[in-house]
Homo-oligomer: A and B are copies of this chain.
Amino acid sequence: MPYDPSAFPPFAVTVDLVVLTVRRHALCALAVRRGESPFQGRWALPGGFVRADEDLSQAAARELAEETGLRAHDPDAPAQEGGAHLEQLATYGDPKRDPRMRVVSVAHLALAPDLPAPRAGGDASNARWAPVEELLAQGGYGRDGEPVAPLAFDHAQILSDGVERARSKIEYSSLATAFCPPEFTVGELRRVYEAVWGVALDPRNFHRKVTGTPGFLVPTGGTTTRQGGRPAQLFRAGGATLLNPPMLRPEV
């Protein structure tokens, strides 16, 4: 049977990005304000159409660079300097998810260190880092008491899935280092875990665990007091990507 273009319906394919970072002890996601209908004026995840000659991961990396200036790493490589971890998250294709047409969105998850203010096409008022708790508080109220409109399209679901992926993945991988600057202390890494999981961890047990896991952390020799208190050793991410045994998330 020869190829028949009428045998399949045409779809638009987009990539949407869940870009997570840790700011001020809170897990935050990048949100952009929609300038056009539908959902005009509402907050949404950054994203865009996949181009005709582009792979999905290329499209995601391009969108990430356009929105944040970050370069993406290979998903299987350990976190390194000056870039973000980027991996495919899941694909969303409900026929009604976009009222204009049939759109299938391949969502990606990016993890980045704390960044300067975002730029969305150069217009800062149309992009921001917002605590995920706030973005997911459907119909609730933000930190400033203003009512918060839910995210556009099915982006609340996508963000929720991305956050859950990040929460579970830092358990058994060294991915939490993707939230840290190139050199970081054990305490800074612990605050990442605490922010992502929303729990408090025992500093002593955490220190024993991460320094005792071979290949997780490599001391650089330097120290810093940027967190106050006694000077802390600086580390880089080691070559290990999988933590065995995993970091245990406290119950409840």
Contact = CB atoms under 8 A, between A and B. Distances in A.
B49 A104 contact: no
B106 A52 contact: no
Contact of A52 (B1, B9, B54, B90): B9
Interface residues on A, range: 20 to 34
Interface stretch (A64-72, A93-101, A227-235): A93-101
Interface in A79-136: 88, 90-95, 100-102, 104, 106
A52 B3 contact: no
A11 B10 contact: yes
A59 to B, nearest CB: 8
Contacts of A88: 90-91
B11 A11 contact: yes
Given A88-B91, A93-B56, A8 B49 contact: yes
Q: Determine the main DSSP class of A at the interface with B.
A: loop
Nearest to A87: B90
A133 B9 CA distance: 35
Question: How many subunits of this chain does the assembly comprise?
Answer: 2
Q: What 5 A-B pairs have minimum CB-CB distances, sorted nearest first?
A: A10-B10, A9-B52, A56-B93, A8-B49, A91-B91
Interface string A2-41: 0101011111111000000000000000000001100000
A165 interface: no
Contacts of A10: 10-12
Contact of A104 (B35, B53, B95, B104): B104
Given A36-B1, A49-B8, A90-B88, A13 B104 contact: yes
Q: Which residue, A91, A94, A100, has most C-beta atoms of chain B within 10 A? A: A91
Contact of A13 (B1, B3, B11, B90): B11
